[in-house]
């Protein structure tokens, strides 16, 4: 997600701290899973530092979070926070995407290679373009259809940020996913601080 192990450690620690603060601000209740997303993203970045260092367990754990977990966790957390029927449908879509990704993880080893200032992960998945569309729909769709203007802004920010990050990553110029995770975390911290209920 970042351009080096050091950057992953620094940004991952900062995002994790924002995640802890968001969890404390949200308190117990239905908003907690979405408020905890920055904490998950921060830990994910800290794990990626291990990928940069060549630790095989880190590569597998990074892939488990990125591939089958996030497309289910994000829409389920939005559904929990908003109780919108559309988020429940996106959760089902996320589960449909997660199943082949989990099967691929169980059957094939995950590899990570340095490519410029980025990491390239490889795992054999069927119909990768279709899974990518489903993944993006499952993780961004519930935010855009949440009914909460702040969550809709977050969804728009993630969609535009993912496009920019993907372009920069494709050029192997620089991985900026960690910056998007940090921005997402700050927006969720703000959302957790000011309930709309």
The whole-number pLDDT of residue 173 equals 45
CA dihedral of residues 153, 159, 160, 161 (deg, nearest 10): 100
Q: How confident is the model at residue 197 (pLDDT cuts 50, 70, 90)?
A: very low
Indicate whether 89 pLDDT > 50. yes
> In this predicted structure, what is the pLDDT of residue 168?
66
Dihedral sign (CA 63, 144, 165, 35): negative
Work out the pLDDT band at 122, boundaries 50, 70, 90. Answer: confident
Pair of tokens at residue 14: 């900062």
Answer yes or no: are the C-beta atoms of 151 and 196 closer than 8 Å. no
**What's residue 196's pLDDT?**
53
3-state SS track over 79-126: HHHHCCHHHHHHHHHHHHHHHHHHHHHHHCCCEEEEECCEEEEECCCC
197 vs 147 pLDDT, higher one: 147
pLDDT tens digits along 33-59: 999 999 999 999 999 999 999 998 999
| pLDDT of 172 above 70 | no
Mean pLDDT of 89-116: 93
Q: pLDDT tier at 127 (50, 70, 90 boundaries)?
A: confident
Q: What band does 113 get if pLDDT is binned at 50, 70 and 90?
A: confident
* Per-residue confidence (pLDDT) for residue 125, from 0 to 100: 84
174 pLDDT above the threshold of 70:
no
């Amino acid at each position: 997600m970042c351009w080096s192990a050091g950057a992953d450690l620094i940004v991952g620690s900062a995002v994790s701290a924002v995640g802890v603060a968001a969890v404390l601000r949200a308190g117990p209740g239905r908003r907690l899973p979405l408020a905890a997303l920055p904490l998950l993203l921060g830990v994910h970045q800290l794990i990626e530092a291990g990928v940069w260092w060549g630790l095989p367990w880190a590569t597998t754990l990074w892939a488990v979070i990125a591939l089958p977990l996030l497309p289910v966790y994000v829409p389920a957390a939005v559904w929990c926070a908003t109780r919108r029927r559309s988020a429940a449908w996106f959760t089902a879509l996320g589960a449909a995407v997660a199943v082949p990704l989990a099967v691929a993880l169980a059957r094939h080893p995950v590899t990570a290679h340095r490519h410029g200032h980025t990491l390239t992960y490889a795992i054999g998945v069927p119909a990768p373009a279709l899974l990518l569309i489903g993944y993006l729909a499952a993780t961004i769709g519930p935010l855009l259809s949440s009914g909460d203007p702040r969550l809709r802004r977050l969804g728009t920010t993630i969609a535009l940020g993912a496009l920019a990050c993907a372009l920069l990553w494709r050029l192997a110029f620089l991985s900026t996913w960690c910056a998007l995770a940090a921005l997402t975390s700050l927006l969720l911290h703000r959302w957790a601080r000011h309930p709309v209920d």
